Amino acid sequence: MAVEVQYYVLLSMALFCTGLFGILTRRNALMFLMSVELMLNAANINLIAFSFYQGNLTGQVFALFTMALAAAEVAVGLGIILVLYRNFRDVDVTVPTTMRW
């Protein structure tokens, strides 16, 4: 019994909208990173679902590439958040108005 592709699309749409809502409404930099991860995972669900239904591995390879991209994004993002916290004692992205001081 296979799950229909529209359920995967609905799940990824819900994840993507949750991530987009998190980015648009939160000011915490950590919440930004988690929201971006949700959006990337939504794309991965679509890539893998359509790859499965097409019968080839192209979408899965792209999903693997997206996971590597997400890992790199988290590494760079956590570095930026650490510098933000060290300099401003807060991870609110509205506090720093410029990157130079």
User: Tell me: the pLDDT tens digits for 35-68?
Assistant: 999 999 999 999 999 999 999 999 999 999 999 9
Band (101; pLDDT cuts 50, 70, 90): low
- Whether 83 is in a domain gets the answer yes
Per the structure, the count of domains in the chain is 1
- What per-residue string of b and e applies to 19-46 under the rule 16 or more CB within 10 Å gives b? beebbeeeeebeebbebbbbbbbbbbbb
Band (99; pLDDT cuts 50, 70, 90): low
Domain that holds residue 80: 5-88
- Whether 101 is in a domain gets the answer no
Distance of CA 80 to the CA centre of its chain: 16
- Whether 96 is in a domain gets the answer no
| Per-residue model confidence (pLDDT) at position 60 | 93
Q: Write out the two tokens for 68.
A: 């590597």
* Mean pLDDT to the nearest integer, 67-83: 93
Q: What is the 8-class DSSP label of residue 4?
A: P
Inform me whether the pLDDT recorded for 97 exceeds 80.
Answer: no
- Whether 50 is in a domain gets the answer yes
Q: Write out the two tokens for 37.
A: 């991860």
